[in-house]
Amino acid sequence: MARSLFLAIAALGLLAALGTVLARNLVRAALHLVAFFFCVACLFVMLEAEFLAAVQVLIYIGAVAILLMFGIMLTRNAATAEADLSGGWRVPGVIAGLCVFAALAFGINNAVSPSGSGAWSAIVARPALEPAEGVAWKAERSRAIDDMPRVVGEQFMTRYALAFELAGLLLTAALVGAVALAREEPAPGDSEPATAVEAEAAVGTTP
């Protein structure tokens, strides 16, 4: 049962990923990407990681996909958002994709374990899926599920603090860069410095 469900979800996810790459229309491609994210969330649910599944939907579908579509909408003719990935960029694109895949495969398989414990693939921190012995097993399993947000948070603040802060720094830099790009500069001879930022600051004058 669980195995066939997994195979179905994985197959759907792979199809969606293929659709993302092959779709001519950019919004369609983004929609396939949403479907793929959703399949990943389903896999998290199958692993009993409900918290991760919810976070996956929240961040990847609720934020990343929406921003992606917003980006498409603001930069292209919305009605015909065709992908113009012409021949010149196809080969570099494939090479970049393979490089990312290689980096991820290498990185995941050579993850450094916290001192004092073995390789990650040897750790079985979560109870097995097959029911073991009644009540105690059930209690342990539900405790593992309940504790997931706390455990994830602790790991972010201790073991992965550096990566977490770096990701935050990167996002802040991207944010500042986007604001710098989008900000309208006043024309040289303009006496009234009515920039967008100051125009926004004037809002809320009513007491």
Partner 1 sequence: MDVGTALIAQSHRVDLSPTTAIVWALWLLVGFAGIFPGIVAYMVWLERKVAARFQDRIGPNRVGPFGLLQPIADAIKLIVKESIVPRPADGLVHLLAPVIVLASAFLTLAVVPFAVGLVPIDPPSGLVYLIAVSSLSPLGIFLAGWSSRNKYSLIGAMRAVAQLVSYEIPQVLATIPVVLWAGSLSLVSIFDHQAKFGWNAFTPPGLLAFAIFLIAGVAEVNRTPFDIPEAESEIIAGYHTEYSGMRFGLFFLAEYLGVFAISCVATVLFLGGGMPLPFSSFPVNLIDGSVGSYILADAILLAVFLAKVLLFIFAMFWVRATLPRMRIDRLMNFAWKYLVPLCVLNILFAAAWFEVVVRPGRIEAGRWAVGMIGVGLLTAAGVQLVFWANRKLAAAAPIDADWPAVGAARGG
Window contacting partner 1 (CB under 8 A); options: 70-78, 87-95, 162-170, 172-180: 70-78
Return the residue of 88, 107, 116, 204 that touches partner 1, per CB under 8 A.
Answer: 204
For 173, the token pair is 């830099």
Burial class of residue 205 in the structure, from the number of CB atoms within 10 Å of its CB (0-12 exposed, 13-18 middle, 19+ buried): exposed
Show the site string, 119-148: x = touches partner 1 by CB under 8 A, - = not.
-------------------x--xx--xx-x
Residue 23, helix vs strand vs coil: coil
The DSSP output letter for 82 is: B
By CB under 8 A, residue 55 contacts partner 1: yes
CB of 98 to partner 1, least distance (A): 30
Residue 109 as a binder of partner 1 (CB under 8 A): the answer is no
Report the site for partner 1 in 154-193 (rule: CB under 8 A).
192
Q: Is the Cβ–Cβ distance between 46 and 13 less than 8 Å?
A: no
Binds partner 1 by CB under 8 A, chosen from 23, 31, 46, 83: 31
Are the CB atoms for 44 and 58 separated by under 8 Å? no
As a whole number of angstroms, the distance between CA 35 and CA 16 comes to 6
- For residues 44 and 52, the answer to whether their CB atoms sit within 8 Å is yes
Site residues for partner 1 per CB under 8 A: 27-28, 31, 34, 50-51, 54-55, 57-58, 61-63, 65-66, 69-70, 73, 78-79, 138, 141-142, 145-146, 148-149, 192, 194, 198-205, 207
